[in-house]
Structures are given as structure tokens and as C-alpha cells.
Chain A
Amino acid sequence: MTIKLRENLVAYAFLAPFLVIFLAFLFYPIFYSLYLSFHRVTDLYDVFGAMQFVGLDNFGKMLHDGQFWWSLLMTLYYAGLVIPLGIITSLILALLLNNRLPFRSLFRSAYFMPYVLDMFVVGLVWVLIYSPHFGVLNRLFTLFGIDTFLESGFLGNPYSAMPAVALANVLKGSGFGMVLYLAALSNISPSLYEAAAIDGAGGWQRFRAITFPLLKPITLFLIVIGVITALNAFAEIYAMTEGGPNVEVGGRALGATWVTGYYLFRTFYVSLKLGYAAAISYVLLIFTLIISVINMRLFRTEER
């Protein structure tokens, strides 16, 4: 055996366990999903074996599927709430923490901890807080004389449902962005601020001219992560609204928190429309890839 060959074999031996799992569960599924998307379940006794080939039919269905397009809209809405709110919260927290303080790391951990927890369980706790009548938040609101949410709770009112879910998500996850911003902030040389101060720049101006631009990469990163998270959102919806209180849109009853990730779950798990679900996942994949590519392009222009 040549040395080269032996080296290769040894290396691949080390890679083997990882690669086997990777190929079986992360690589192959992508193609299998495409295969599934061209089929439809017809038989409930032999679900997989008796799937019928339907060509591009599932994708055609998607084009006419009002619930699918609505879910994309709702996902956009969700992203539009979670991303700005998340970034602002993370940034504010980071700015607050970017000071020499006793117990600083205690606060940092306190803000970060919820990120480590499971969104479904956290969502269940928020359901309690958002409950109608006796929920904590409702009691607080009635103190201020606001009783719009008394009967329905915050999750039962179609206008407040999505913001409520978004709030829960942001409070849980903003610690992550905070830590990223903190790291970036600590990398900003103080001499920049000194120079600006000498030039007579006030606090806000210094922020705009120095801090914010230097935080742009993180902000961009968080935006991309936010979009991908919104496209995948499921656990919080399943915990809190199960698609949301129904609103009437053009003669159809649609959910106020009916995001695409949740719709995908319903199609797959509740209706067992495996082929259609695979088709939807594929479209989601394409969207995500487009966004990632855009992100890479933007990043490259940034570095220039």
C-alpha cells in the first residue's frame, strides 16, 4: 500500500462516521424531497410504496393555493416585526451593557439565557401571560383601562396575535444579537470617539457616524438570520396560536399567524400530504438560497 493511499484511507476512516450520517440524513434528503414532491399519497396502508407520480402537479397546486400565498404574506409580516424589533432590542441591550459596571456579566447572562431554551416551552408560558380575563398582561392592561383584550386574550384577537407572538420571540432571542453587538462594540477603538468628540460631534452624531456603520456587518447578519428564522418559524406558532385566530380575507377564513413554516407542518403532519409538503419545502429552500446568495453579495460589497 502506498503511503498516499494509506493516508487517504486513514483520513477517510476518521471522516467516516460523520460522513455517513451526513450523506444519509443531510445530503440524500434534499434529493429525496425533490422526488417526493413529484408524488402524491394515495394509499394509507402502503403510504410510501403506493405514492403516485403526479409530475409538477403539486407545484401547480401551490400556485393556486390561497393558503400558501397568504402564509408567505404572514411570514413577511412576522419577519417585519421580529427583525427590526430584535435588532433594536439587541442593540439597545448591547449599548447598555457596553459600560464598565459591576454585575455586568450577570446581566449579560440573564439576557442571553432565554436564547438557550426551547421555543415551544417558552411559548406555552407566554400563553399563560397572554390569557384572556385573568392573564397577567390583561390584568395589567385593565389597570390602564384597556379591556379590548379581556375576552379574547392577546392571542385570540387577530390584530394582536402576531405582534404578541413576535414579542415573545424577540424577548427570547435578543440576547444572541446582544452578545454579537457587544463583541463588535468592544472592538471599536475608543480613539475614534475621542477624535469625533474633539471635532465637536455630539452623542447621537457619534453613534450615527461611527458606531452604526461599524456594526453593519452584524446587523446584516442578524437580518439574514431573522429572515431564515421567520421562514422556519413553527414552534412558537404551535405553542401559542396554532395558526392564529381566523380573519376573513376575500371570503376565505385565514389564520392571522399562519406562517409558511406552520403551514408546512400542517400539510405534512395533520393532512399527511407528503408530496405537497415536500414541494412546499422545496420552494422554501429556493427562497432561502436566494436570500443567502443576496447576503453573500451584499457582504462582499460591504467588505469593499
Chain B
Amino acid sequence: MNFSKFDRSRLIPVLFLCAAIAAALSCGGGQKETGEETGPVTLTYWQTYNDDENALFAELIEEYQATHPGVTIQTTRLPFMGAEPKILTALATRTTPDIARVDGSFVPKLATRNALMNLDEIGPGDIKQDLHPVALSSCLVGGVTYALPEQVNGLCLFYNKDLFRRAGLDPEVPPETWDEFIAMGKKLTDQEAGVFGFGMRNSLWWTFPFFNTYGAHFLNEDGTRCVLNGPQGVEAFQLKVDLYRKYKIEGGGWRAGGVRDDMGFQNGKYAMIFSGPWAVKTLQAAEIDFGVGLIPRGPVGTSTNVGGNDLVIFRSCQIPRAALEFLTFMASEQVQTRWANRLGQIPVNIRAEKHLDFGKHPYLKVFVEQMKTAIPRPSIADYDELENIMNPEMQAALDGTKSVQKALDDAVRRINREVLGAAD
């Protein structure tokens, strides 16, 4: 074989090929926005809207970009469940967007770990005065504003009017106190027909309506210890357990393998459930004749829990003022009115309440009313740890393997030790 110089020159194309592959492989990512405070800017926004919300949001972006020339908003849609891991990964790899829509419970976790910008330091916070304190509560950590609310909701009592009629109850009058609730529940329950007065979930968040209507506080005054196992907490939780065990008006919706509350409500298995604005559209589409009432009154009146989504700005954002402007826009009276009137959502901006179209969204009236007495959940960095500890204990009480007092005592002890770091 003759190896002439000609062969050696073939080597070069091969090396080129390898180099080209290497070069091609190292791209594929986008450029990082160096971003300036002036000049055209692009805001990256990770959102978790469902299809309806996304449609309205697309309109809002167009208008915003029209009224704010030079600003482009680039959105990425994340699935609602599973958005948090993506954000955590983005933080670890420094690929976070400028703005993200996160669940209210996630804000403290991000804020206490230095991931978010302090909004008070970026610009004027006048809008906060217009915001519903309950909605704003999840955005404040240690008095500092780390987010602006974008959506707020809470549980109310949904009831099936058909089943009410069949049980001889007035379909326009839902129970107003827990005693009435129990009495009506008994009338609505027909074990043989597989119909129950109530179907419930068993997570901590879904149990807050009980705790809150009995005035049971989760944390003590200075927020250092969990005190849920006090007398009010025990009474509240005992009521929940009794609905299933003693009065037998609850159909086991909380069981693993049981029929979940929303499914059971749609199928006519549960006459009453807790639910919120998000469920209205599905129920209307399924042509269920239902009504919405306030959570029944306990010793301190009616109350409920608070959920919702907030918009945060990540520390990596290079254009915080532009980002804050967008956040303010989303929480503004005008935009919140549109969310409310288009999708029946509770506005976070109090000023929007006078523009609400209750004709189009009759249930909205009840939702807004309920939020007036809602109590936000405890602002703790690892909120999910609370759920992880409380839920199995509550389940044990529902199963009957532990007394209510013991279940709460055990849960509170673990919470104090593991989550709050408080001495026993």
C-alpha cells in the first residue's frame, strides 16, 4: 500500500468534521439576555395557565406589548403540576426566567433561600394598598414583598340542588352552621343508594376550613411554635372525623381508592363538597344543578383557607424594573377585572370588585364574600413538610387508629421538632 501525501490531506476534512460536530453540540442553548434598563427588552415569563387562562393571557400580552413599546414578553408554558421541580432545576443551573408564576406556598421557600428579588427595593409598591390583604399575605416573607399576587382562591361549600330537592331540602338554602350541616347531611345520606351528604379530602390545606371556623390557630403569636393541638383545633378536627365516623354522612372520599370529592360530586354520589372557582366551568359543562355557599359557621363564624398564585421575579433578572411593571400590570384593577369577568376568578385587586359582573358569574359573589373572612396558610419555607407530617396523622384519626387528640399531638410535636426547629 502506498501512503502518499494525498491521504494525509484527507485527515483535515475528518478533523473538520469532528470540530464541526463539537461546535454544533456546544450550541443549542439560547443566548443569555444581557439586558439593559433602557432600550428594547425581553421579559421571560414561565407560566402555568390552563387553556382558558392562556387564551386570555395571550390577549393581555398583546395589549401590554402595544402599550409598552420596546418590551417583548416571551412566555413558556409549564404544566401546573410539576412546575416547581422545573424551577428548582432552573435555579440550580442558572437558567431561570425573569418572572414565574408560582403557587403561593412556594414563595416563602424561594424567598428564604435567596432566589427572589426584593420587590420593595425595585420600585414603588403603591399597588399593594389596592390588593386584598389575604392575597398579598403569601407574597410577604418577614414583612418584605417578594411577589405580587396574580390569582387568589379559597374553598367554599358546593352543594347539589337536585339532591337537596330529593331529600326535601330547600335548594336555595345551604347549611349555614355546622349543626345545620350535620342535620342536612343526615337527610341527604342514603347509604343503600350510595349517596352521601358530604365527600371530603384529607390534606392539611383542605382541612383549614374546619380549623379556621373554630378559630384554631396554626402558629402561636410570634410564629415559632405550632399550636394546632389546642382545644379549638381538637374540636375542629373532631368534627371532621365525626362526619365520617360518628354521623356517617361522609362517603370516604379521602380514602386511597375512594371516589374523590370532585368526581363524586359530578356523579351525584356526594351532595356537598368543598371546592373553588376552578371547578365551576367543569360542573356547568356537566350540567350539574349546583349552588355555592359559604363554609358553615363555627364558633368564630365562617372562614376558609387561601390558595392562589403569585408572580415572582428571580434574582437573575437583569431588568427588574421592567419586570415589576409587568407584575403590577397583572395585579392592576383593569386586568384583574378582566380575569374575573372572563373566567369567574376572584380578583386580587379590591378595586376590581365594583366592576364584577355577577350576572355572568353568579357564584363569584359568594367567592368574593368568603374571601373576606379567609385566613391565609402559615408562611413557612417548607410548607409541604407540614402536609407530609399532618396528612398521615389526620388519616390515622379518620381511620380510627388514633384519637383526634393524639393524632394532633403527634403531628404538632413532629412539626415543632422537624420543621420549626422549636424545642419540645
- Is B316 positioned at the interface, with any CB of A under 8 Å from its CB? yes
Please state if B257 and A44 are interface contacts (CB–CB under 8 Å).
no
Please state if A47 and B91 are interface contacts (CB–CB under 8 Å).
yes
Please state if A47 and B316 are interface contacts (CB–CB under 8 Å).
no
Closest chain A residue, CB of each to CB of B410? A251
Interface residues of A in 145-165 (CB under 8 A from B): 151-152, 156-158
Closest chain B residue, CB of each to CB of A274? B92
Evaluate whether A269 and B392 lie within 8 angstroms (CB atoms) in the complex, with A152-B257, A158-B256, A245-B256 already known: no
Evaluate whether A248 and B257 lie within 8 angstroms (CB atoms) in the complex, with A44-B115, A45-B91, A45-B115 already known: no
Mostly helix, strand, loop or mixed at chain A's interface? loop
Q: How many A-B pairs fall under 8 Å by CB? A: 59
Q: How many residues of B contact A (CB 8 A)?
A: 24
Please state if A151 and B257 are interface contacts (CB–CB under 8 Å).
yes
Complex CA distance for A152 and B256, rounded to whole angstroms? 9
- Is A3 positioned at the interface, with any CB of B under 8 Å from its CB? no
- Cross-chain contact of B110 among A44, A157, A246, A271 (Cβ < 8 A): A44
A contact residues around B114 at 8 Å (CB): 43-46, 50
- Is A27 positioned at the interface, with any CB of B under 8 Å from its CB? no
Please state if A251 and B316 are interface contacts (CB–CB under 8 Å).
no
- Is B393 positioned at the interface, with any CB of A under 8 Å from its CB? yes
A contact residues around B257 at 8 Å (CB): 151-152, 156-158, 245
Closest chain B residue, CB of each to CB of A266? B85
Mostly helix, strand, loop or mixed at chain B's interface? helix
- Cross-chain contact of B392 among A151, A253, A272 (Cβ < 8 A): A253
Complex CA distance for A151 and B194, rounded to whole angstroms? 15
Expressed in whole angstroms, the minimum distance between the Cβ of A197 and any Cβ of chain B is 55
Q: What mask results when residues 342 to 353 of chain B are scored 1 for a CB within 8 Å of chain A, else 0?
A: 000000000000
A contact residues around B89 at 8 Å (CB): 269, 272
Closest chain B residue, CB of each to CB of A151? B257
- Cross-chain contact of A42 among B113, B393, B395 (Cβ < 8 A): B113
Evaluate whether A44 and B91 lie within 8 angstroms (CB atoms) in the complex, with A245-B257, A247-B256, A251-B402 already known: yes
A contact residues around B315 at 8 Å (CB): 45
Please state if B393 and A251 are interface contacts (CB–CB under 8 Å).
yes
- Is B357 positioned at the interface, with any CB of A under 8 Å from its CB? no
- Is B235 positioned at the interface, with any CB of A under 8 Å from its CB? no
Top 8 A-B residue pairs of the complex, sorted by shortest distance between their CB atoms: A44-B115, A44-B113, A272-B88, A47-B92, A253-B392, A270-B85, A45-B114, A44-B91
Residue positions of B touching A, CB distance < 8 A: 84-85, 88-89, 91-92, 110, 113-115, 256-257, 259, 315-316, 391-393, 395-396, 399, 401-402, 410
**Can you list 24 residue pairs at the A/B interface with Cβ under 8 Å?**
A42-B113, A44-B114, A45-B114, A45-B315, A45-B316, A47-B91, A48-B92, A151-B257, A151-B259, A152-B257, A158-B257, A245-B257, A246-B256, A248-B392, A251-B392, A251-B396, A251-B401, A252-B392, A269-B85, A269-B88, A269-B89, A271-B88, A272-B89, A272-B91
